[in-house]
Structure 1
Amino acid sequence: MSEPTAKYSITMPRDIAEAATARSGPSGLSAYVAAAVARQIDRDNLNELIAVAEAQHGPVTDEEIQALRDQLHQARQQQTQGGADAV
């Protein structure tokens, strides 16, 4: 069963509203906007967690980020190769 809903009136630039309407598909504009807002809330929550972690442990360096990206890239390559090179 889905969450209860309420009706709201929002204002947004016409071009954004038109683009959202064009992309909303069969679920409609309300569902499209609700999904976009939910994603933004997730991003805001993640940014808050990052701020807390950086306050406690210091910022993550560009080198650390790149090393993790490299690890992720290698793991994806191994997965697409059927794990033939997995250690």
Structure 2
Amino acid sequence: MSEPTGKYSITMPRDIAEAAKARSGPSGLSAYVAAAVARQIERDNLNEIIQVAEAEHGPISDEEIQSVRDQLHHARNQQQAQGGADAA
């Protein structure tokens, strides 16, 4: 069962609304906008977590960020290689 919905009126620049409408596909503009807002809420929540962590432990360095990116890239490559081996 899906979440209950409500009807809201929003205002946005026409060019953004038209671009969203053109990209919304069969699910429609409302679903497209709802997904975009849900992603923004996730980002806002992550930013709050980062702010709390940085307040407690200090800011994250560029080197730490790059290290984690490298680890994720390596893990993704391993997973893709493993998936290719499993398909054979």
How far off is 1:70 after superposition?
1.3
CA distance in 1, matches of 2:28, 2:81: 40
Residue correspondence of structure 1 range 14-33 to structure 2 within 5 A = 14-33=14-33
Aligned equivalent of 1:57: 57
Count of residue pairs the alignment pairs up:
84
Aligned equivalent of 1:73: 73
CA distance in 2, matches of 1:14, 1:28: 17
CA distance in 1, matches of 2:42, 2:57: 22
CA distance in 1, matches of 2:16, 2:71: 37
Identity over the aligned pairs, expressed in percent? 82
> Secondary structure in 2 aligned to 1:82?
helix
Residues 54-85 of structure 1: per-residue CA shift (max 9 Å, x gap): 0000011001111111112222222222299x
Amino acid in structure 1 at the alignment position of 2:79: Q
CA distance in 1, matches of 2:31, 2:64: 38
Q: Could you state the TM-score of these two structures normalised by the residue count of structure 1?
A: 0.89
Aligned equivalent of 2:4: 4
> Secondary structure in 2 aligned to 1:81?
helix
Tell me whether 74-83 or 41-50 shows the greater mean CA deviation: 74-83
User: Superposition RMSD on alpha carbons, in Å?
Assistant: 1.6
Amino acid in structure 1 at the alignment position of 2:26: P
Q: Could you state the TM-score of these two structures normalised by the residue count of structure 2?
A: 0.88
